[in-house]
Amino acid sequence: MTGPALHQHAPRDPMRITTWNVNSVKQRLGHLLAFLNESKPDVVCLQELKCVDEAFPRTEIEEAGYVVATHGQKGFNGVALLARQPLPLREVRRGLPGDAEDVQSRYIEALIPTPAGDLRVASIYLPNGNPVGTPKFDYKLAFLRRLTLHARALRAREEVLVLAGDYNVIPEPADAADPEAWRTDALFLPESRAAFRALLNEGFSDALRACDDRPGLYTFWDYQAGAWPRNLGIRIDHLLLSPQALDRLVSASIQKSLRGLDKPSDHVPVTVELDLG
């Protein structure tokens, strides 16, 4: 599911940046460690850790060769950044600015020095927003507005910037196997999609769509109703790139096979390769 390379000559060692909603890092630790060992991504953005910072399996992941920064929460939410050694994580920001009363752990950001200059990466877990017509949907839209304002400020730095995560937004009908089934869902309502477009309009590009515009590319399959065997998926996990990152984009791909593992997450990893050599 990898799209065509945007560079005529791909670099020898592009930097691999992966986003993955693991849906409980403790339950999915075996899958995560196997993925780190086999795929060796340079940076990993995790969402839905469902544990406090102290309970995060830091030792196991450090032994796999990664440095770790977490922003956890008991039983819910939680995000993390992993960088393959010797890459460091600097200027770590925990929490999205704009609402001092927001206690949900949904945003972590860090600066990663590379041979080609600084790379800034964020791991984002946007609110689901259901049920519609409740404060949960209001919070989703407010979070998207705050993210857009923060992204605008980051964009002004003209850095290589990747905003990665589970956005809980289906951008277009082509991003759902059965769009009609999601018509009244917070993930696909016009307000959610418009807010996502407003974020893109700040100068960001959807990495996967920059490489591959085919329908049928999904990142999530519900556990219920045989969604996975019937391929009734949706695409809600995205990596948004600043212009400086887009200029260095080599490829984007979905690691779909991981959904077929025993006791998998309902999301699969999505990976971009950037020429930062």
- Report, as residue numbers or ranges, the catalytic residues: 125, 166
CA distances from residue 129 to 132, 169, 215, 244 in whole angstroms, order as listed: 7, 10, 25, 31
What backbone torsions phi and psi does residue 47 show, to the nearest 5 degrees?
Answer: -130, 160
* Total residue length of the chain: 277
Q: Structure tokens of 83?
A: 């960088």
Q: Which residues pair with 110 in a beta bridge?
A: 121
Tell me the three state secondary structure of residue 70. Answer: strand
- From residue 246, how far is each of 85, 121, 212 by CA, in Å? 24, 14, 14
Rounded CA-CA distance 240/155 in Å is: 11
Distance separating alpha carbons of residues 198 and 200, to the nearest angstrom: 5
How far apart, in whole angstroms, are the C-alpha atoms of residue 205 and residue 108? 20
Q: Is residue 219 classed as helix, strand or coil in its secondary structure?
A: coil
Rounded Cα gap, residues 221 and 231, in angstroms: 7
